[in-house]
Structure 1
């Protein structure tokens, strides 16, 4: 009887899972443990991005820069909203009033609104901008770009761009940036992001 009881006890013990507190650590292979536990070298902790998720560098990694304090996405949202009600975010706009080509293309009331310092994004019908005008605004202080037939002034936004100002000045200043934007940022609602930076609509 004792032997039978011992047998049943032994059988039950074999099916019992060890308690996590009493479990013994498994043996670690010394050949692989150092490789598995070794921290990354070079201090470069880059995370692969999803397709179209940011400015891409070589190797498909996100190529972000360290933004200045007070230049987060939330800061930009607050600034653009404030400027939208208080004044103009668009640089170089007053020169349009005296441009003969712009005068010929545009509604006189729209030009009059510009003369009275009405922010350009509030003017309807929107100011019509030509390629020649777009190309004149290609510096950091006066930077316009074209996105899907809309012209935006991105001078104020340069320092808020996660990929840095330099890449925008190189690829977008005074140019049609639609193809590059759609390649890397097609998920971004640029109409909302740059709402108060609208200069007008593009006329080929």
Structure 2
């Protein structure tokens, strides 16, 4: 059946042509703009304090250090995968094996795995670390700390820390850093960040 010309015109006429009118942005008042962009009187212009950041100094400014080239968060992630998965980010294992108290405290299975160079984060049951053993790992080359009953070797992470290595060595090396960490970094997923740096569990 052939459509009539009038029907075709009627169908086409049901569409409306787009309106040529375009919405215009509101007019900007130069006086208002200059007032909004003007710094506070007296030159007192402060950055708001950010809660939960350990690198905040007096006045609310973040005292971040300039990290060495190749020490970004992405670089740490790659290092954790490449070297960390092989257990190469954990130092001080010789001290652990030479400690008679550690030998008595841990299961034969865990000790055997440790002697065969199995990465500590893969050992189950996990290696138990005493306070006396923890305190022996307090240098930049061999730095252990405790976070919520877990012992981590952070030697390789020192230069990746946004607040610098010095603050970690001063407050965490060979110590239980749980209280300070929870105070300033409670939002950080340290279990994922330091997954391949896990030495074992803390038994004070």
What is the TM-score of this pair, normalised by structure 1? 0.78
> Distance between the aligned counterparts of 2:32 and 2:108, measured in 1?
83
Number of the residue aligned with 1:3:
none
C-alpha RMSD of the superposition: 2.8
For residues 149-168 of structure 1, the aligned pairs below 5 Å read 149-168=149-168
Number of the residue aligned with 1:7:
none
Structure 1: which 5+ runs fail to align?
1-18
Q: How big is the shift at 1:36? A: 3.0
Q: How big is the shift at 1:95? A: 2.2
Q: How big is the shift at 1:61? A: 2.3
Q: Number of aligned pairs?
A: 177
Residue 53 of structure 1 contacts residue 187 of structure 1 at CA under 8 Å; is this kept in 2? Answer: no
For residues 125-140 of structure 1, the aligned pairs below 5 Å read 125-140=125-140
Q: How big is the shift at 1:114? A: 1.0
Distance 1:36 1:171, change over 3 A: same
Q: How big is the shift at 1:27? A: 10
Give 3-state SS (helix, strand or coil) of 1:136's partner.
coil
Number of the residue aligned with 1:99:
99
> Distance between the aligned counterparts of 1:159 and 1:87, measured in 2?
18
Distance 1:93 1:47, change over 3 A: farther
Residue 143 of structure 2 contacts residue 153 of structure 2 at CA under 8 Å; is this kept in 1? Answer: yes
Structure 2: which 5+ runs fail to align?
1-25
Distance 1:132 1:53, change over 3 A: same
